[in-house]
Amino acid sequence: MAEFEDKAGWRTLWFLIDRQRTRLALAFAFTLVAATMELVPFWLLAQGAQAVLGFIDQQSTTTEMAETFYQLALWMAAALVLKTLIYGIAYFLSHQAAFFTLAHTRRILVTRLAWAPLHWIQSYHSGQLKQMVLQDVDKIENLIAHHTVEVSVSLLTPLLITFYLFWIDWRLAVAALLVAPLAIICSMLFMRDMDSMQDQYHQVAVSLNKTTVEYLRNIPVMKLFRQDARRFSAMVQHSQHYYSLVEALTRLTVPRWALFTSLLGANMLLVLPAGGFLLLHNEIALTDLILAILLCGGMLRPLLKISHFFTDSREVLASVRRLNPVLNADNSAEHAQQAEGADPVSSREEGIDVELSRVRFSYDKTLIIPEMDLTLPAGSTTVMTGASGSGKSTLAQLIAGLLMPEQGQVTINGRAVTDLSNEQRASLVAVATQDAFLFKGTIRDNLMLARDTVQEHDMELAIKVAQAEHLIQQLPDGYDTRVNEQGTRLSGGERQRLALARALLADTPVLVLDEATAFADNLTQQAFYRDLQEHYPDKTVLIIAHRLAGMEFADQIIVLHKGHIQDAGSHTELIQRNAYYQKIWQLQRDSHHWTLQDDQACESRKRSDVTEGETTCLQI
């Protein structure tokens, strides 16, 4: 199972490094040269030993021996410089390959996420997506940038030494290699339970990550309820689980790892007696034996790196495998966009109508819209209201093409939304919701999100209609004022007004406003809908709202109940026959007259010319 999963991970990695394979092959070639250079110092040391032996045998003088040493030092310095240079090139190439792969992978992921259906994205926690796009992708860096060079050297150096030892004497080579199988068995033991442990570790790390993100996001709420990290029970639980797993992992791995490391250095226990025996029987020259001993000393140590590589690669492959669902996400919309074909519904076309026919939709197995038929005639305004959870936002997302119906279809001028590319859809339908998200940048950048170029008067009109004129005037640099991530320096209502202006600027014939004025006061809301009608009369508008101030003008008002249209008609019709509509309208009319005043103000207001009954005075 693990092998199969590893294969899937390697396949994905192979796909991700697609454009970097030549660079990596070059990095490997340079590493091969550098690994050969690793042997040069040993050979030079053997030459030094030979010079010493020559001197002991009185074949050379002290001066000659010293001169040999100077020369050897020079050669060693030259070899060192050359080796450093070659390693430098190899690392440069492997790092380039790694960072290009990281950028390429993130580009693929964010593109896939941008095109993936909304409900699919919503099935992931934001902490999980963050973990994928940031941490999981980052893990690839170490594998490509470092392991490519280091693992290659760690493999090639013992291999080259083995060849050399065989060339000197095969018995010495065998003696040097005998401990390797023992070390490898030990290493396999070391890896045995690692797979399941690693998976468990990841799950626990993700849970801790999610909880931490949740905690950090909601610090204001935590403050309100006087909770800190120690008292936030979910965090405590996940931390404890994390630490107990890490402890178990450490207990399991440390003894095996210590044994493996010791075994790798133990080959000298066999090489020394074997060398002594061969020397005694004159089957090997003393200088060869010295060279062999020098080489054998650290010969198997590089295998440590390989073992590290296997451990790391499992972690990396697990990370890469986690990217697979996003990499393989349904990108049919992306393909639809790339596919040739005429623009089926032009955004420039006059009068766009939207039709839902027999639309059925469920989240997983929970049925939200059983069957819906609805028409938003071209250039009309439809208001949709209904109890919380009745499916209004779901319908808005279905119309905007952000959710796919499981049955029936949503059409825009007769063309199914599902057949449109994302770009086509975005040029037809703009959506503004209650959660007005602003990106880090200037107000202008945020307003122009949907369009590359905007005429100044278009921008001013959108801002005026969105009732944000005063806000822009107040800002220190007007349109060029910078907002931070999520626009948190602006109030909820200010963010909403800017998001409304952005939706208007998108210049789409269909506009969906899902509680888009929820933070506005009644007067602002009324002014917005009045100006919207006056300045954008051709738009097909769907307004979802609980507060209906200023919406009496709507062509049709729909009351939604548990995913069904309970009633539909004009304001006058509904106020006469629909109990729910009458109730919310009555409540809103009453609350419209509520004011918060102190006793004195309240008394004086009652004495003023305000007709009794129009004002409900809440005395404070």
Residues of this chain that interact with ligand ATP (CB under 6 A) are: 119, 122, 363, 366, 368, 386, 388-394
Kindly state the smallest distance separating residue 361's Cβ from ligand ATP, in Å. 9
* Distance, CA of 232 to CA of 516 (rounded, Å): 34
Of residues 446 and 556, the one with the C-beta less far from ligand ATP? 556
Q: Residue type for 227, please?
A: Q
How many other C-beta atoms lie within 10 A of the C-beta of residue 612? 6
Closest CB 353 distance from ligand ATP, rounded Å:
23
Q: How far is the CB of 388 from ligand ATP (least distance, A)?
A: 3
Reduced to 3 states, what is the DSSP secondary structure of residue 48? helix
179 vs 520 by CB, closer to ligand ATP: 520
The nearer residue to ligand ATP, 238 or 392, going by C-beta atoms, is 392
Task: Specify the residue, 235 or 516, whose C-beta has the smaller distance to ligand ATP.
Answer: 516
Joined tokens for residue 360: 């059925």
Instruction: Say which residues have a Cβ less than 8 Å from residue 206's Cβ, sequence separation at least 6.
Output: 127, 128, 131
Q: How far is the CB of 398 from ligand ATP (least distance, A)?
A: 9
Nearer to ligand ATP, 55 or 120 (CB): 120
The answer to whether 322 touches 205, Cβ cutoff 8 Å, is no
Q: Which is nearer to ligand ATP, 241 or 564 (CB)?
A: 564
- Pick the closer one to ligand ATP by CB: 119 or 451: 119
| Token duo for residue 256 | 């095996």
Rounded to a whole number of angstroms, the minimum distance from the CB of residue 413 to ligand ATP is 25
61: burial class by Cβ within 10 Å (0-12, 13-18, 19+)? exposed
CB of 308 to ligand ATP, least distance (A): 42
Q: Which is nearer to ligand ATP, 282 or 366 (CB)?
A: 366
* Contact (CB, 8 A) for 403 and 397: yes
Among residues 511, 574, 570, 569, the alpha carbon closest in space to that of 543 is found at 511
The nearer residue to ligand ATP, 394 or 411, going by C-beta atoms, is: 394
Find all residues with CB under 8 Å of 456, minimum gap 6, and list them: none
Output the CA torsion 437→442→444→446 (10° steps): -20
119/301 with CB nearer ligand ATP: 119
The minimum distance between CB 417 and ligand ATP, in angstroms, equals 17
Residue 27 amino acid letter: A
CB of 334 or CB of 514, closer to ligand ATP: 514
Beta carbon nearer to ligand ATP, 386 or 405: 386
**What is the closest distance, in whole angstroms, from the C-beta atom of residue 544 to ligand ATP in the complex?**
7
CB 125 within 8 A of CB 210: yes
Angstrom distances, CA of residue 164 to CA of 176, 303, 427, 521, 606 = 12, 18, 69, 85, 106
The residue (of 62 and 366) whose beta carbon lies closer to ligand ATP is 366
Residues, the chain? 620
Tell me the closest approach of the beta carbon of residue 325 to ligand ATP, in angstroms. Answer: 17
Supply the Cα-derived Rg of the chain in whole angstroms. Answer: 37
Shortest distance, position 394 Cβ to ligand ATP, whole Å:
3
Tell me the closest approach of the beta carbon of residue 387 to ligand ATP, in angstroms.
Answer: 7
Instruction: Name the minimum Å distance from CB 403 to ligand ATP.
Output: 9
Helix, strand, coil % in the chain, rounded to nearest 5: 65, 10, 25
DSSP 344-403: SS-TTSS---EEEEEEEEEETTEEEEEEEEEEE-TT-EEEEEESTTSSHHHHHHHHTTSS
Nearer to ligand ATP, 265 or 370 (CB): 370
> Minimum distance from CB of 402 to ligand ATP (Å)?
11
Do 563 and 407 contact (CB within 8 A), yes or no?
no
Give, rounded to a whole angstrom, the gap between the first and last alpha carbons of the chain.
70
Which sign does the torsion angle of CA 439, 443, 445, 451 carry? positive
Nearest distance in Å: CB 372, ligand ATP: 12
User: 3-class SS at 488?
Assistant: coil
48 Cβ contact partners less than 8 Å away, ≥ 6 residues apart: 68, 69, 72
Nearest-angstrom CA–CA distance, 319 and 144: 14
